[in-house]
Structure 1
Amino acid sequence: MSGTVYENARIHTLDPARPYAEAMLVRGERIVAVGDLAECRDRAGGGARRVDLDGMAVLPGLIDSHIHAASYVRGLDQVDQRGTASLDEALARIARHATTLPPDAWLLGGGWDSNRWTRPVQPSRTDLDRVCPDRPAALPSIDGHTIWVNTAALARLGIDAATPDPPGGQIARDEHGEPTGILREAAADAAYAVVRSPHAGDLVAQLRAHLPRLLAAGLTGIHDLDGQDARAAYETLYARGELPLRVHKTIPATALDEAIDSGWATGDGDRWLSTGPVKIFTDGALGSHTCLMTEPYDGEPGYHGIAVTPAEEFERLVATAAGAGIAVAAHAIGDAANRMVLRAYARWRDSAGPGPAARLRHRIEHTQHLLPDDVPLLARCGVIASMQPTHCTSDIPLTSRMLAGRGLASYAWRSLLDAGAVVAFGSDAPVEDPDPFFGIHAAVTRQQPDGVPPGGVDPHERLDLDTALRCFTEAGAYASYEEHLKGRLRPGMLADFIALPTDPYRVEPAELRDLTVALTVVGGVVRWQR
C-alpha cells in the first residue's frame, strides 16, 4: 500500500517538533510522513499517487467544539430572521414564509434579535397573529434562550394564564396575567420539543444534504450539543457510511438517566462518532436577560437572571454523571453561573480522589463573563473553557450597554490561556455562522467585520494566529480525549487536513474572515473540494 503524497504545499503542522513542511504522505486514514518532498516520496515508494497542491497552505482539520449542527441544518429550510432591523421586517419575512407551507404545518425558524431592532421592543403573540393567525408558530431568538410563539401555538402547547412558571423558566405575561407569547428558558421546553421534532423535517436527510457546508468551511470534526434526535440521525448516517466528518456527541441533561442505564461513558465510540459529556444548563443568555449575574440587571432591581439549574441540583448531577464515567459540560454565561459551576467542580475534584473519575475533563460552555478571581480557579480545576469567539464581537453593542463598569473578565481567552487553562473554540451555530475563520478573525482582532472598535474590544485579550488555530484544532481534540489522534499533522495521526489558496500566516488580521477552503480531507479521503 503505497499511499498518496500531497506535495508542493506550505504545510503548517502545528507540531512544535516540525512546524513546517512541503509534503505529506498519507496511507489509509493515517499520516505516514511529513517533511520535504524527497523524504515523503522515498517513504512512499513506487506507485504512490501524487497530488500537486499548487502552493496552497495546508492546516490540520479544524474542529468546532460547540455547534448545534442539527439546529443549523434544520434552520436552512426555515424562516431566517437574522439581520432583521425591526419588528415589521421580521413579520414581513414570516408572512412570506407562511405562504410556502402546507395547511396546518407549524411555522418554524428564528434568529430574531430585538436588541438590534431600531425600536428594541419585545415581540408578542398578537404581533405574530397578524401575519400567522391560522397555524402555530414557534420562533427561537438568536441566542436560543427565548421562543416567540403565537396564540395558536400557545393553545397547542397547553399554555394559558393558569399555567405556572416552571422551575428555571419564565412565561412572560401582560398586566392581566395572560401569556404574551414570549417563553424563556425552561418555559420554552415544550416549544423546543416541536422545533426538534419531525415537524421540522427529516433530520437524517437534512444532515446528509447540509453537512458538506461544514466541510466547505474547513471543519473536519464537530462537538454537537443538540439532542438525542441528532444522535440517532448521526448513528443512521454512520451505519450507512454517509457520515462525512467526525462527531463528538454530547448528552442532554434530560437523557442522563438513559445514558447511565445504557452504560454510556464519555469517550465511548470510535474515531467517527463518540460520546461526549452531559450538557447541563445553569443559566440563560445576556440578550434574553436570563444569564445569572452577581449584580442585578440595570433597570431591573433585584433581578439577577435565571438559575436554570440551582447549585445544589447541579452538584448532585455532577456527582451522578461523574460516578458513571460521564464528564459534564455546563452552560454558563453570567459571572454568578460561572462561579457556581467552578465551585461545584472544585468540590467534586476534592472529593473524587484518584481514579478513573478524576481523569474526566469537565467543561464550561461559553465561559463568557467571569469574575477575575475565577480565571485562575478555572485553570487550577483543569476545566476546559469552551468558547465561541464570534460571540465576543457580535455582543459588543450588548456588553458595552449592559455590562460596562462591572469589572468582569469577559471573553477572556488570553487570560485563561495565560493561567494555564485549555481553551477550545467553536461557533455555537446557528447562533453564529459556523465558518471557523470568522471565529479566528474574532479571536485575533476582537473586532466586528467593519473593524470596530479600533484595536479591538479589551485588546489585551487578543490572540496571535497560531494560538487561535490551536484553539480550533488541538484544544478541540483534547476536549474529546483525542489529542493523540488529531489536532496536528505528524506521523501516526489521522489524515484530517484542509488546503487554502491563501496562507493565513501571510495575510493581515482583518483579512482572516475572508479566507476560503479549496480542499477538505477527513481520514485520508477528499470529502469536499471547491
Structure 2
Amino acid sequence: MTSATVFTHARIYARVNQPPTSGGIAVQDGKVIAVGDLDHCRAAAGADAATVALSGAAVFPGFHDAHIHTGALALQFDAPDVSEATSLTEALALLARWADAHPGDGWVVGGRWDANEWGEGETLHRELLDEIFGDRPVVLNTVDAHSVCASSRALEIAGITADTEAAPGSVIERDADGQLNGILRENASDSIRAIANRQLLADAADLLAGVQRHLHARGITAITDFDGEEVRQGFTALAAAGKLRLRVRKGIPMGELDRAIAEGRTSGDGDDWLITGPVKLFSDGALGSHTALMHEGYEGDRCNCGVEVISVPNLTETVERANSNGIAVATHAIGDRANTNVLDAYEATKDCTRANDLHNSIEHAQHLAPRDIERFYELQVTASMQPIHCTGDFPLSVNLLGERDTLHYPWCTLRKAGVRVAFGSDGPIEPVEPMYGIHAAVTRQRRDNEPAGGREPSERLPLDQALLAYTEAPASMDEREAVRGRIEPGAYADFVALNADPYDTHPADLWKLGVTETIVAGEPVYRTEGAA
C-alpha cells in the first residue's frame, strides 16, 4: 500500500447533480478513500500523507467520452484538412499545399471535405487527387466519415475497378462516362479506409500516447472507443508498458465479432484500465452523405430515403449472436427509420439481452419517430448521443429533412421518458472538448450563438443532466458507476479542475471553460501553464 495524498479545494462536486463540498479528496492506491471535510480526509489518509492544493474554480469527476475514434484522431493530427473550404477550388489548393509540405509515397488519409458547403455539383474526383498526389494512395474522408474520395492508386490497392459491383450497404459512384469517380459510401468506404489504417496504425501505441495527452488536456479520463483492432492492440501495449492513463472501454468492430467470441471476450471484462466494450454495428449512414435511413425521402430528393447498411433480419441475428456470447451491441443509427429498425432487432432479442445482463445502445439516435421514444425505455436501450452534432448539423438537417413528424436530437424527451442518455463527441468528426458538448446540450446553439434562441429549445437539457451524461451515465453502461463518474470512497481518483464553475457560468459561455488540472488514479496527468 502506497502513502496517501490529500487534494484540497474549496469547491468539489463529488456528484455532478449534488451541491459541492469544501475540503479535500483523500487518495490511496489510485482510489478515493475519503472526500469532504478536510480533517476527516487527513485522518483517513494518515499522518504521512502529502497535501496538494488543486487549482481552478471547481473540481468535477473526470469526463467520459462515450463515443470516440482515437485511431482516426491520432491520424488527424498530421493529415490534410479541408473542412473550412467553401469551394472545390479552395479544397484543392489546400490539398496541394499539404502535399508539397509532406512529400512521400505512403498512404494519405484525412480530408474532412463537405460538398454540401460547395457550389452545386462540385465534388472531389479521383483524377483530381491523382493530379495532386500522383501515384500515392489517398483516402479523403467526408466530414461525417461515411464517404471517401479515393485516388486511383488507393482503388487499385483495394481491388476496386469499374466492374466492381457494390455490395449491400455500399455505394460505389461513377461519373457520367461510367468510370469510377473515386467516391465510396458506407461499407465501401469502410473497407478501403481499413486497408489504410492497418498500415498507418500498425504501431499505434506512440500515436495513442499523443491522443491520451490531448484528451487529458480536455479533462477526459475515460473513453468508449469504436476504432479497429489496431487501436485495441495499441492500448494493450500502452497498458503493458504502464503508460495507459485513460479508462478505455474498447469496442469491437463488426468484422471482428467472430474473433472476439472465439477469444472469449465479453463486455465489461478487463482491468482498471482496459475493458471490452460492445460490438459496433451499422444500421444506416449519415446525414451529410444523404445516407441516413429515413421513413420519408430527403427534401428535394424524395426518392432517396438513405441506405440500409444491414437488414433487420441480419441485424437481429448478429445481436442475438453477440448477446448470447456475453457481448453487448452498440448500433449506429442516425435516421428515424434506422432507429426503428434497430429497436425492432433489440425487441426481438430482448430476452437474450436481459438473460446475459447486457446494456445495448443506439449510437447517435439523432432523428427519432415519436412512437419510438417509449421503446428506448421499455427495452432499456441507452441513447449514446453527441450534442455537438445537433448544432454542427444546423442548418443542413433542416434543409435535408424539412418539416416531418420526426424528433430531432431529442435528448431531453428521452431523459424525461427515463432513458439513459450518455454523451460523447464522435471525435475527430467533431471536437472532443466535453464543454463544447455540454454547451450544445444546454443551449442547442452553435458556439457563435446561432441559431438565435436555440434549435427546438424544448429539447435543451438542464446543466446537471448534461454533466451526468458525460460522467455517471457512460460508467453505468458496464456497471462501473461505483468506480467512475463520481468522487466517492472506492471510486477511481479521476477528477478535473475547471477554470470556472459551470453552475456560475452563463449557458452561452459554457464552451469557453477550460481545464486547469486533470488527475487520473491520483496522479497529475495535465496541468495548464500558470495554474494556481
TM-score by length of 2: 0.96
Alignment of structure 1 residues 97-246 onto 2, 5 Å: 97-119=98-120, 121-199=122-200, 202-246=203-247
State the superposition RMSD in angstroms: 1.7
Q: Is the 8 A contact 2:250 2:276 kept in 1?
A: yes
**Partner residue, 2:421:** 423
Q: State the identity as a percent.
A: 44
1:466 maps to 2:464: yes
Instruction: Quote the offset at 1:303 in angstroms.
Output: 2.1
3-state SS of the aligned residue for 1:275? strand
3-state SS of the aligned residue for 2:233? helix
**Partner residue, 1:516:** 514
Instruction: Quote the offset at 1:55 in angstroms.
Output: 5.9
**Partner residue, 2:62:** 61
**Partner residue, 1:493:** 491
**Partner residue, 1:259:** 260
Q: Which region of structure 1 is more displaced relative to structure 2, 29-38 or 115-124?
A: 115-124
**Partner residue, 1:42:** 43
**Partner residue, 1:457:** 455
Give the whole-Å Cα distance in 1 for the aligned partners of 2:263 and 2:12: 43
Give the whole-Å Cα distance in 1 for the aligned partners of 2:188 and 2:283: 15
**Partner residue, 2:323:** 322
**Partner residue, 1:371:** 369
Give the whole-Å Cα distance in 1 for the aligned partners of 2:168 and 2:422: 31
1:340-373 Cα shifts (integer Å, max 9, x gaps)? 1011111211x43863x2x110000000000011
**Partner residue, 1:352:** 352
Q: Is the 8 A contact 2:497 2:515 kept in 1?
A: yes
1:305 maps to 2:303: no
Q: Is the 8 A contact 1:24 1:34 kept in 2?
A: yes
**Partner residue, 1:80:** 81
In structure 2, runs of 5+ residues without a counterpart are none
The letter of the residue matching 2:118 is W
1:117-174 Cα shifts (integer Å, max 9, x gaps)? 3556232223323322332211011111001112232233222221111111010112
Q: Is the 8 A contact 2:16 2:61 kept in 1?
A: no
Q: Is the 8 A contact 2:158 2:195 kept in 1?
A: no
Q: Is the 8 A contact 1:108 1:200 kept in 2?
A: no
Give the whole-Å Cα distance in 2 for the aligned partners of 1:45 and 1:321: 47
1:274-308 Cα shifts (integer Å, max 9, x gaps)? 00000001110010011111111223343211111
Give the whole-Å Cα distance in 1 for the aligned partners of 2:201 and 2:142: 17
In structure 2, relative to structure 1, the CA distance for the partners of 1:16 and 1:406 (3 Å cut) is: closer
Give the whole-Å Cα distance in 2 for the aligned partners of 1:333 and 1:396: 15
In structure 2, relative to structure 1, the CA distance for the partners of 1:306 and 1:33 (3 Å cut) is: same
> Which of 430, 433, 436 is the equivalent residue of 1:435?
433
1:51-71 Cα shifts (integer Å, max 9, x gaps)? 122563100000000000111
**Partner residue, 2:27:** 26
Q: Is the 8 A contact 2:16 2:468 kept in 1?
A: no
The letter of the residue matching 1:23 is G
In structure 2, relative to structure 1, the CA distance for the partners of 1:329 and 1:7 (3 Å cut) is: same
Instruction: Quote the offset at 1:2 in angstroms.
Output: 5.1
Q: Is the 8 A contact 2:83 2:143 kept in 1?
A: yes
> In the comparison of the two structures, how many residue pairs are matched?
527
Give the whole-Å Cα distance in 1 for the aligned partners of 2:463 and 2:510: 9
> Which of 390, 393, 412 is the equivalent residue of 2:391?
393
The letter of the residue matching 1:347 is A
1:433-457 Cα shifts (integer Å, max 9, x gaps)? 0111110110011101111112210
In structure 2, relative to structure 1, the CA distance for the partners of 1:529 and 1:311 (3 Å cut) is: same
1:293 maps to 2:291: no
The letter of the residue matching 2:180 is P
Instruction: Quote the offset at 1:242 in angstroms.
Output: 1.1
Q: Is the 8 A contact 1:86 1:119 kept in 2?
A: no
**Partner residue, 1:480:** 478
1:95 maps to 2:86: no
TM-score by length of 1: 0.96
**Partner residue, 2:525:** 527
Q: Is the 8 A contact 1:9 1:55 kept in 2?
A: no
3-state SS of the aligned residue for 1:153? helix
The letter of the residue matching 1:71 is A
Instruction: Quote the offset at 1:492 in angstroms.
Output: 1.6
Give the whole-Å Cα distance in 2 for the aligned partners of 1:342 and 1:137: 37
The letter of the residue matching 1:284 is G
Instruction: Quote the offset at 1:47 in angstroms.
Output: 2.2
Instruction: Quote the offset at 1:406 in angstroms.
Output: 1.1
**Partner residue, 1:507:** 505
Q: Is the 8 A contact 1:86 1:118 kept in 2?
A: yes
In structure 1, runs of 5+ residues without a counterpart are none
Q: Which region of structure 1 is more displaced relative to structure 2, 268-277 or 1-10?
A: 1-10
Q: Is the 8 A contact 2:60 2:496 kept in 1?
A: yes
The letter of the residue matching 2:421 is V
3-state SS of the aligned residue for 2:439? helix
> Which of 410, 413, 418 is the equivalent residue of 1:412?
410
